[in-house]
Amino acid sequence: MGLDPGLRRLALGTLLAAYPGPVPPEWAVDLVAAGLAGHTLFGSNVHDAVQVSASTAALRSGRPDVLIAIDEEGGDVTRLAHATGSPYPGNAALGAIGDVALTRQVYQAIGAELASLGITLDLAPTVDVNTADDNPIIGTRSFGADPESVAAHAAAATTGLQAAGVAACAKHFPGHGATVADSHHELPTVDVAPDLLRQRDLPPFAAVVAAGAKAVMTAHIRVPALTGDGPATFSRAVLVDLLRHEYGFDGVIVTDALEMKGAALAAGGIAPGAVRALAAGADLLCIGAKVDADLVERVVAEIVAALGDGRLERTRVEQAAGRAADLAAWTRTTDRTTATPTDLGYAAARRAVRVEGVLTGLDRSLVVHLHANSTIAEGRVPWGLGPHLDATEQIRVVAAETDPADLRRRAGDRPIVLVVRHLHRLAGGPELASALAAAHPVAVVEMGWPATWRPDAVRAFVTTYGASHANGRAAAEVLGLAR
């Protein structure tokens, strides 16, 4: 027997799916017509503005109020500019500048671009307080390590996005900034008392709630004092007692992708995870990036089965679907502002650059780009100085496989500019930088999360607070190497 049509539609109303390729397949549009809350766009869905606009129009042909979401954080996490890098600096750079009015402007500009393409929900801003220098997944996505500063920028970013008519989704509740593991691959643990969370991790969430954020995203992290052995995404104590009751949030609670190991391993799969998230108080379930029609139907079937066997109450699912529907209605009726000039991000990135040491004499350098892996959140987005250099020679190397003597010979009498990302934790990176600086003029351009470690004897240390296209341009300019 098939599923009850009413229950199927109810379950679909809680789901954010996805689809492969630049053109929405027929099944993706059919699911929207059948009640699916919406789809999330990833880099594989984005070729250019004309194509994205056609895709969102196709999805709206299924239902005009479909939610169309995207992870467009600016900085190191961009889907619209995944082929080139974002024209905006990310949160770490904005936090370093310290101008909340600028943060609002940048996010309003991002929101205006999304709105012009028919995208209605931005899975941003990241409002985690990055207190762990070795955090492998947040880093430059954070406004910083100070809760008060992060809270101010988080509120500004939320206000900016929503002024453009795009719903903001602040993430990752109750805070992913103190982790040293990536929830895409495992379940990180933050073993602290709730009072420390309130002081360190939660002020930005209080700020975005006060700013009227339409959505908040859950974290697949374990806080034993609140969540026991499971992630916050499956914890009623976190989602209802803390976020709803203590912090007064009445918008949509969105899960981080249920395909991530931090959730899927804990639940025994995506479909059981969907049931557990709904039972805990989540409203809109992000299935993930690798989605097809069969997976959506399996998740729907599991939700409907849970309604029948008592794991879920119908009123809870109706509440979740109702909140998602209310969010979709807001995106159709809210006022929108126009776009901001396109050079805003580049000007902001220049303001973020910090220089320690002396930059003179670097205009005839050998630029050495050290390979660094990207996170799943970042994806394979180009970074570095390459697109911005004049006639300066650039080579790309793997730090752990490179002999510093070979680089010195290649440079000859030219200084060396090392372009890096998270140098302090790059395999072989600190050793290579120190060995080069001990016997050769070296400047380091750090485009990742800045740590306190510095190589001995380095001539200059330049921090960009991110690796976006705008950050790369700003670094090339300050070094005197830009076209």
pLDDT tens track for 269-308: 999 999 999 999 999 999 999 999 999 999 999 999 999 9
Question: How far from chain centre, in Å, is Cα 266?
Answer: 22
Could you read off the pLDDT of 200-224 as tens digits, one per residue? 999 999 999 999 999 999 999 999 9
Q: Quick check: helix, strand or coil at residue 462?
A: strand
Please, which pLDDT band fits residue 340 given cuts at 50, 70 and 90? low
Query: Do the beta carbons of residue 448 and residue 139 sit within 8 Å?
Result: yes
Tokens encoding 343: 């050079």
Question: Peptide bond before 125: cis, by omega within 30 degrees of 0?
Answer: yes
Among 43-47, 94-98, 241-245, 479-483, which is the least confidently predicted range?
Answer: 479-483
Please, which pLDDT band fits residue 333 given cuts at 50, 70 and 90? confident
pTM exceeding 0.85:
yes
Please determine, for residue 321, whether its predicted confidence score (pLDDT) is greater than 70: yes
Tokens encoding 208: 């975005």
Label the pairing between strands 460-463 and 354-357.
antiparallel
Q: What is the pLDDT of residue 416?
A: 97
The mean pLDDT value for 334-354 works out to 83
Could you read off the pLDDT of 390-404 as tens digits, one per residue? 989 999 999 999 999
Q: What are residue 260's phi and psi, to 5 degrees?
A: -65, 145
Q: What is the pLDDT of residue 132?
A: 92
Which of the pair, 1 or 287, is modelled with greater confidence? 287
One of 71, 76, 122, 256 is an active-site residue; which one? 256
Burial class (CB in 10 A: 0-12, 13-18, 19+), 316: middle
Please determine, for residue 27, whether its predicted confidence score (pLDDT) is greater than 60: yes
Phi-psi region of 181 (alpha: psi -120 to 50; beta: other; left: phi over 0): beta
Q: What percent of the chain has pLDDT over 90?
A: 93
Q: What percent of the chain has pLDDT over 70?
A: 98
Please determine, for residue 339, whether its predicted confidence score (pLDDT) is greater than 80: no
Q: What is the mean pLDDT of the chain?
A: 96
Please determine, for residue 338, whether its predicted confidence score (pLDDT) is greater than 90: no
CA distance linking residue 475 with residue 85, whole number of Å: 14
Query: Do the beta carbons of residue 456 and residue 438 sit within 8 Å?
Result: yes
Tokens encoding 393: 């020679």
Q: What is the pLDDT of residue 317?
A: 98
CA distance linking residue 144 with residue 449, whole number of Å: 9
b (16+ CB within 10 A) / e for 401-415: ebebeebbeebeebb
Report which DSSP code applies to 422: S
Tokens encoding 209: 């709630």
* Closest-CA residue to 144 (of 181, 192, 93, 101): 93
Query: Does residue 256 have an active-site annotation?
Result: yes
CA atoms within 13 A on the CB side of 269: 8
Q: What is the pLDDT of residue 337?
A: 64
The mean pLDDT value for 14-26 works out to 98
Query: Do the beta carbons of residue 419 and residue 368 sit within 8 Å?
Result: yes
Among 268-272, 396-400, 411-415, 448-452, which is the least confidently predicted range?
Answer: 448-452
Could you read off the pLDDT of 255-266 as tens digits, one per residue? 999 999 999 999
Strand order in the sheet with 460-463: 354-357, 460-463, 442-446, 416-420, 366-370, 393-397
The mean pLDDT value for 336-348 works out to 78
Interior angle at CA 186, CA 150 and CA 169, nearest 5: 35
Query: Do the beta carbons of residue 417 and residue 472 sit within 8 Å?
Result: no
Please determine, for residue 336, whether its predicted confidence score (pLDDT) is greater than 80: no
Show contacts of 291-296: CB within 8 Å, 24+ apart: 291/17, 291/18, 291/19, 292/19, 292/20, 292/27, 293/27, 293/28, 293/31, 295/270, 296/12, 296/15, 296/17, 296/31, 296/36
